[in-house]
Amino acid sequence: MKWDVSSMDSWKAADFPRGAVIPEAGNSQYYRTGGWRSDRPIRDAETCTNCLICWIMCPDSAIRTADEKLADDTFDLEHCKGCGICANECPVEAITMVPEGCELPEVK
Amino acid sequence: MPEQKTVATTGNLVVAEAMRQCAPDVVAAYPITPQTTIVEEFAKFVAQGRVHTEYVTVESEHSAMSACVGASAAGARVMTATSSQGLALMWEELHIASGMRLPIVMANANRALSAPINIHCDHGDIMGARDSGWITLFAETAQEAYDNTIIALKVAEDPDVLLPAMSCLDGFITTHSIDRIDLFDDQTVLDFVGQYVPSNALLDVENPVTHGAFAGLGGPYFEFKRSQRQAMDRAAGVIDRVGADFAKLSGRPFAPIEVDFMDDAEVVVISIGSTAGNVRHVAKELRAQGIKAGAVKVRCFRPFPFAALAAILKGVKAVAVLDRAESFGAEGGPLFLEIRSALYDLETRVPVVDYIYGLGGSDVKLELIRQVFDDLSDIASGAMAPTGLVYLGAR
């Protein structure tokens, strides 16, 4: 990570890049959006056919794969916003959305 | 000093000429009276191959300024022009241009806002956008419109500034009247403004950046606004420096405020734009009669030259501010509010009277200016108390 934002909370006005520019690409992964989620996706591995439609449709690239199948640790919950598109698109209804509990990932 | 060519033409045509000489990469524009001949003339330059600009014809001013914002973020030198309702339609993008720190330069032909519908000069359009974060210069004459457009670009693109800038000229009075103007050759202008070296350009694919990111949810929006304020404060110094360089090159003085007969003036009228000529003329007449009249013209409205105004007005007996725009419900017009604030810190209070005049192109006859000076003389001699807001010449 070439742009170090670890101390951004203490930056003064002059420390921020001019015009609110983000001066590097590909750093949205450091912005954790999991805390926005109210419903969490759960996959039933026995029903799932590994068609990967959920992986294609996920707007946050929050679905993990391994060896061209869904990974056991399927959902990247640090970035999944709980939009439910995966559950809606699944042709065999292998994904269900369940309400989140109180243990939410840290909001950044 | 480079040789200049004297021509007789209109304010709009020399603004188009200044734009061509600044060689913008992109112009995105939409025509509106009385700005139309600027973009029409510029389109002709593009068609003739006299300038190598990507000329984007759009379906509205909202789109014009949006395209300018996109082009400037991409790294282009960008210029455009508008007026009145067009400026109003650009309103949200004006703030986006300044917030993104994009040095777009726009000419604005000052025209009244509807309703009732009107196409003639007043400053209601730009004064409505005075808090949009644009550096704002006003021209008295077509010559100044030409000069201001070049100066605005040089200031806007300065690495210490990087803010959009507007070059305002009075609708019809300055945009369409034939005037005597001295023009530089193309190379002189190009050398003066220099080559624009963008930073954070979207087309710099080796160094990808994101423009227009979110800064809410407790994010640093507040700090970004502070940076903008600091850039506008720095612009004051850059305007002085660029103005001095321009004066050396052209032989024409440039300052944020321009003064006449102010050495020992007792009664002073302050104005913006083309009316400054009338004020100067009447002040000269009064001087011949032994009245210590002075004239002040505000050429740079943003950043506002508070300190210079306070210094020049210190010790005068009465001041009149001519406002060609309303701020309904405020104590006076936009210029009055600035001037009275600039004078607040003086030890001796100077009486200031506000005159709203010339709205919708209402004629500004010399008799009206004489009436203002007469009022000031009465106030200065104690014969009359300072009045509240006056609608000068309105029935």
* Model pLDDT for residues B233-274, shown as the tens digit of each residue: 999 999 999 999 999 999 999 999 999 999 999 999 999 999
Q: What is the pLDDT of residue B66?
A: 98
**Alpha carbon of residue B35 to chain centroid:** 15
Is the distance from CB of A40 to CB of A82 less than 8 angstroms? yes
Q: How confident is the model at residue A108 (pLDDT cuts 50, 70, 90)?
A: low
Q: How confident is the model at residue A106 (pLDDT cuts 50, 70, 90)?
A: low
Q: CA–CA separation, B182 vs B170, rounded Å?
A: 19
DSSP 8-state code for residue A18 = G
Q: What are phi and psi of B115, to 5 degrees?
A: -105, 165
Nearest to A20 among B207, B213, B226 (CB): B213
Q: What is the pLDDT of residue B217?
A: 78
Q: Average of pLDDT values for B45-56? A: 98
Contact B224 A25 (CB under 8 A): no
Looking at the DSSP bridge assignments, the partners of residue B138 are B168
Q: CA–CA separation, B209 vs B202, rounded Å?
A: 6
Q: Average of pLDDT values for B288-303? A: 98
Among B104, B210, B211, the strongest candidate for a mutation testing the A interface, having the largest count of A CBs within 10 A, is: B210
For residue B11, pLDDT over 80 is answered with yes
Among A21, A31, A32, A81, the strongest candidate for a mutation testing the B interface, having the largest count of B CBs within 10 A, is: A21
* Model pLDDT for residues B12-38, shown as the tens digit of each residue: 999 999 999 999 999 999 999 999 999
Length of chain B: 395
Q: What is the pLDDT of residue A100?
A: 87
Question: Which chain A residue is nearest to residue B103, measuring alpha carbons?
Answer: A19
For residue A107, pLDDT over 60 is answered with no
Q: What is the pLDDT of residue A29?
A: 83
Looking at the DSSP bridge assignments, the partners of residue B319 are B268, B352
Contact B209 A18 (CB under 8 A): no
Q: Where are the beta strands (DSSP E) in A11-59?
A: 39-43
Residues of chain A contacting B200 with CB distance shorter than 8 Å: 17-19, 21, 23
Residue B165 structure tokens: 């800038």
Q: What is the pLDDT of residue A15?
A: 93
Q: Kind of pairing, strands B78-82 and B105-110?
A: parallel
Is the distance from CB of B266 to CB of B318 less than 8 angstroms? yes
Looking at the DSSP bridge assignments, the partners of residue B136 are B166, B302
Looking at the DSSP bridge assignments, the partners of residue A100 are none
Q: CA–CA separation, B261 vs B291, rounded Å?
A: 11
For residue A57, pLDDT over 70 is answered with yes
Q: Kind of pairing, strands B135-138 and B300-302?
A: antiparallel
Instruction: Give me the percent of chain B exceeding a pLDDT of 70.
Output: 100
Q: Average of pLDDT values for A53-77? A: 96
DSSP string, B347-361: SSPPPEEEEE--GGG
* Model pLDDT for residues B158-208, shown as the tens digit of each residue: 999 999 999 999 999 999 999 999 999 999 999 999 999 998 999 999 999
Contact A19 B211 (CB under 8 A): yes
Q: How confident is the model at residue A103 (pLDDT cuts 50, 70, 90)?
A: low
Distances (CA, A) of B215 to A88, B56, B99, B223, B337: 31, 30, 12, 10, 32
For residue B288, pLDDT over 60 is answered with yes
Handedness of CA B8, B12, B16, B18 (dihedral sign): positive
For residue A3, pLDDT over 90 is answered with no
Q: What is the pLDDT of residue B72?
A: 98
Whether B55 has its CB under 8 Å from any CB of chain A: the answer is: no
Q: What is the pLDDT of residue A90?
A: 98
Q: CA–CA separation, B193 vs B297, rounded Å?
A: 25
Contact A13 B227 (CB under 8 A): yes
Distances (CA, A) of B153 to A53, B80, B107, B164: 52, 12, 11, 8
Residue B129 structure tokens: 């956008």
* Model pLDDT for residues B93-148, shown as the tens digit of each residue: 999 999 999 999 999 999 999 999 999 999 999 999 999 999 999 999 999 999 99
Length of chain A: 108
Instruction: Give me the percent of chain B exceeding a pLDDT of 90.
Output: 96
Residue B392 structure tokens: 């000068």
How buried is residue B116: exposed, middle or buried, by Cβ count under 10 Å (0-12/13-18/19+)? exposed
Q: Amino acid identity, residue B391? A: Y
